[in-house]
Copies of this chain bind each other. A is one copy, B any other.
Amino acid sequence: MSHNTFGHLFRVTTWGESHGPMIGCVVDGCPPLIPLTEADIQSYLDKRKPGQSKFTTQRREADEVRIVSGVMVDEDGIQKTTGTPISLIIENTDQRSKDYSEIKERYRPGHADFTYDAKYGIRDYRGGGRSSARETAMRVAAGAVARKVVPGLLVRGALVQVGPHRINRDNWDWEEVNNNPFFCPDKEAAVLFADYLDGIRKAGSSVGAVIEVVAEGVPVGLGAPIYGKLDQEIASGLMSINAVKGVEIGNGFEAAALTGEENADEMRLSGNGHPVFLSNNAGGVLGGISSGEPVVARFAVKPTSSILTPKKSITRGGEEVDVMTKGRHDPCVGIRAVPVGEAMVACTIADHYLRHRGQVGG
């Protein structure tokens, strides 16, 4: 069963609400003897942390992670995983005390307020409770552990579309990703994004985005057909991120418009006799199994529903109201979704790495 857990051999269970005392996760199944410190995790959390620029929510969270189980300092003074569950905790520090009476009764359109209430009959309305994107901090933390499980794995993400604006792929430069607040790999597009998002932000509006995650160093052979396909589980992981409405691998939806000749990935032998692909339309996965090419996934994030324009809605008690979502929000949640997407891809690959080793060995 998977309510709040994902993965099989590398398995992550998250817990906590936006405005509770803390949030956390348990990473179970991590191999032993992997060096792991809080600093290893913190660097990824800092990428996702709110309030890093004017383009993300002004909520101020230190997002300081603590490792409270599953590690041990060895004889050489190096802290390592022990093979037992790794429990990670982040204290919530900026839960502003405020009057929740309004949000408590009114369903914010596009949010999960109505469906949580319809499902459970009770709802933690403070900051979105469990449905808040705050939960994704723990995914990023787990992803930091996952990255260390697969030797040579490199997982990087980038923002490739904001609203109607797409990057120019010819300008792609991974170095640029750290030079702007959007994780944008195209220096020119970053300028455009900044200008566009400034307008969105000032208008109290919001906008959608597309993120691309590329995993290099994925060993050939990962993935478990038929219902544990690598691309399937990456899609599942990405689709579980708040506000994600679409996922694609390799050519994705564009493949629908192509012919077999256009979409083919031909093979040849490299100089040293290894199989090489002459293109990567498949996005690194064939028949659900990794081909050794980079795994390429993209996902679409909808505009957050928190906007200053009043929208028609209803109350818990069954009255019609107009709702305007005040508070500190991201004009484009797609930005902070970049490190989250990376984390989901890293965790999925780590899980399949262990599963493959289990069934096939090596």
Cβ of A84 within 8 Å of any chain B Cβ, yes or no, is: yes
Q: Across the interface, do B260 and A110 meet the contact criterion of CB distance under 8 Å?
A: yes
Binary interface encoding of chain A residues 142-175 relative to chain B, with 1 for a CB under 8 A from any of its CBs, else 0: 0000000000000000000101100000000000
Cβ of A327 within 8 Å of any chain B Cβ, yes or no, is: no
Q: Kindly identify which residue among B4, B68, B251, B357 contacts A245, using a CB–CB cutoff of 8 Å.
A: B251
The complex places the Cα of A109 from the Cα of B130 at a distance, in Å, of 45
Q: Across the interface, do B258 and A114 meet the contact criterion of CB distance under 8 Å?
A: no
Residues of B within 8 A of A242 (CB): 287
Nearest B residue to A81, CB-CB: B122
Q: Across the interface, do B286 and A256 meet the contact criterion of CB distance under 8 Å?
A: no
Binary interface encoding of chain A residues 205-230 relative to chain B, with 1 for a CB under 8 A from any of its CBs, else 0: 11111100000000011111111110
The complex places the Cα of A267 from the Cα of B267 at a distance, in Å, of 53
Residues of B within 8 A of A38 (CB): none
CB-CB nearest 10 A-B residue pairs: A112-B287, A358-B358, A246-B248, A206-B260, A115-B289, A236-B236, A119-B221, A266-B312, A208-B256, A255-B302
Known: A115-B286, A115-B287. 16 other contacts (CB 8 A): A3-B227, A13-B26, A32-B120, A74-B122, A80-B122, A82-B123, A110-B282, A116-B287, A118-B220, A119-B360, A120-B360, A135-B226, A229-B240, A261-B309, A262-B303, A269-B318
